Amino acid sequence: MDLHAGPRLKGSKVALVGAPGMLALLLTIAGTAFGASAPITLVDALGIAERNNASLQAVIAQQDGARAASVTARQLPNPDIEVIAGPVRPRSIGGPDGHALAINLGQPLDLGGVREVRARVADLGSDGAEAAVRALRRSLYARVRVQFYQVLQRQEQLRIAEEELLALQQIRERVNLRVQLGEAPRLDLIRADTEVLNARRNRDSSMVRVDQARGALASLIGLPPGEALRVQGALPALVAVPSLPAIRDQALRSSPELGQLEAEQRRARARLELEEALRKPQVRMLFGHDVEPDQTRWRLGLSVPLPLFNQRQGQILEARAEASLADAQFESRRQQLLGELDFAIAGYSIARQQVDAFESGLIRQAEQTVRVAEAAYRFGERGIIEYLDAQRTLRSVRQEYINALYEARYALIEVERLVGVDVLGGSK
C-alpha cells in the first residue's frame, strides 16, 4: 500500500513507502498467492456487501412490507351483500303464492377519523422501517470500511516487516564480513543472526495477519469460502472534525438509529390515538330490498355496537405502555449514542495527535539515529548492540505510526456511523 497514493496530512515530510518497484513486487506476490482475480476497491467491497448481506436484505423486505401496510391502511372497507330467495306458500286459502326475494347490503363506516389515524400509524411504521434500513446499511458500511482498511493496514505492516528483514540481512552480511576480517567478535554475528531470525518470524506473522484480514473481509462481504481476494486502495487523508457541540447536534438530527426510534415513538403515540378513537362505536349502514308476491319493501338503517362490556380498556393500556417504552428506549439510546460519540471523537483526537507527533519529527529522528549508529559501528565507536537497538527503535516507530494512522481512521468511521453523515458532508 502506498500512503502517498491518497491525500496526506499537511506538513508531512515522512515517506514510509519505498520505491515503486517494491510496491509492484508486493502486488505481484499478492497476486500469486491469491490467484489472478482483479483487486477490489472499497466501493466494490461496499457494493458486494450490500448485495450479499442477508440481514440487510431482510430489513429491506420489511420496509417493503411496511410500505404495503400504508396502502392497506388507506383502503375503504368492502361492503357485504346478502341475497335470499325462496318460494312463498299461503297459510290460508286465497293467500299470495309465488316467490320472495330479499337483498341486504351493509357498509361499514370509518367515523371519527379512524381511517386517517390508521393510515398515520402505518406511515410512521414505514418511516421506522426506512430508518432501520438506513441504520443497518450505515452500520454495514462502517464494518466493511474498517475491515477493508485493516487489510490495507496489515499489508502495510507486512511491507515494513519485509523492509526490516532486508535491512537486517544486509546488516548481518556486513557484520559477517567484519567478523571474517577480525574487526568484530563472533558474538556480534550471533546477535545479528538472532535479529534476522526475529525479523523473519515477524515477517511470517505479518503474512498470516494479511491472510486473516483478507479472509475476514471476504466473509463480511459475502464472498464464497476460498475465493481469491485482493484489495486495492489508499488511506484517505485525515480531516479536522467539527467541534464537539456541533457534531453532537448533528448526530441528534441525522443519526439513523435515533431516527428509527423517533419514528417508533410517533407510531406508538399514533397507535394510542387509534385505540382511543376505536372506543367510539363504529357504525354500519344497512340497506335492504324485499320483494314478495303481494308487496315490495325498501329498508334503510344503521347498526351500532353497544360498548357495554368491552370498551377497549386493555388495548388502550397496552398502547400507552408501548408509547412509554418507545420514549424510554429513545432517551436511553440518545444518551448512549452521545457517550459513544464523545469516546470516538476523543479516540480520534488522541490518534491524530500521535500522527502529528510522528510526522513532526519522531520518524525522522529515529532514521537519523540509525544512520548515526551505523556510522559509529562501522568506525568501531559503538558496538553492534547500539546499532541493532536503533534499528529496532526505527521499526517500532514506523509500526506505531502506521497504527496511529489507521486508529484515527477507525475512530473517524465510528464517528460517521454514529452521526449518520460523512464528516466531509455527504450523507450516506
Residue 238 pLDDT class (50, 70, 90 cuts): confident
Beta-sheet pairing, 80-88 with 98-108? antiparallel
pLDDT in tens, 348-384: 888 888 888 888 888 888 888 888 888 887 777 777 7
Task: Indicate if the pLDDT at residue 419 is higher than 80.
Answer: yes
Task: Indicate if the pLDDT at residue 9 is higher than 50.
Answer: no
pLDDT in tens, 239-293: 777 778 888 888 888 888 999 899 999 999 999 998 888 888 888 899 999 998 8
How high is the pLDDT of residue 149? 93
Cell of 201: 518470524
Higher pLDDT, 371 or 22: 371
Helix (H) / strand (E) element for 28: namely helix 20-34
Among the ranges given (21-25, 341-345, 370-374, 418-422), the one the predictor scored with the smallest mean pLDDT? 21-25
Q: What integer is the mean pLDDT of 398-412?
A: 89
Q: Which fold has domain 14-90+97-419?
A: Outer membrane efflux proteins (OEP) (1.20.1600)
Q: Give the best-scoring range by mean pLDDT among 20-34, 175-189, 193-207.
A: 193-207
pLDDT in tens, 294-333: 889 999 999 888 888 888 889 999 999 999 999 999 999 9
Residue 109 pLDDT class (50, 70, 90 cuts): confident
* Contacts of range 403-407, beta carbons closer than 8 Å, 24 or more positions apart: 403/153, 404/351, 404/354, 404/355, 404/358, 405/3, 405/235, 405/238, 405/351, 405/355, 406/149, 406/150, 406/152, 406/153, 406/235, 407/347, 407/351, 407/354
Task: Quote the CA–CA distance of 411 and 347 in Å, as a whole number.
Answer: 6
Its pTM stands at 0.74
Cell of 211: 491472510
Residue 81 pLDDT class (50, 70, 90 cuts): very high
How high is the pLDDT of residue 300? 92
How high is the pLDDT of residue 28? 43
How high is the pLDDT of residue 37? 64
Question: Does residue 146 contact residue 167 with C-beta atoms inside 8 Å?
Answer: no
Closest Cα partner for 221 from 146, 277, 118?
Answer: 146
Burial (0-12, 13-18, 19+ Cβ within 10 Å), 261: buried
Question: Does residue 6 contact residue 388 with C-beta atoms inside 8 Å?
Answer: no
Task: Indicate if the pLDDT at residue 4 is higher than 90.
Answer: no
Task: Quote the CA–CA distance of 184 and 385 in Å, as a whole number.
Answer: 12
Residue 191 pLDDT class (50, 70, 90 cuts): confident
Task: Quote the CA–CA distance of 404 and 350 in Å, as a whole number.
Answer: 9
Helices 186-221 and 42-52 meet at what angle, rounded to 10?
40
How high is the pLDDT of residue 29? 44
Closest Cα partner for 191 from 183, 202, 199?
Answer: 199
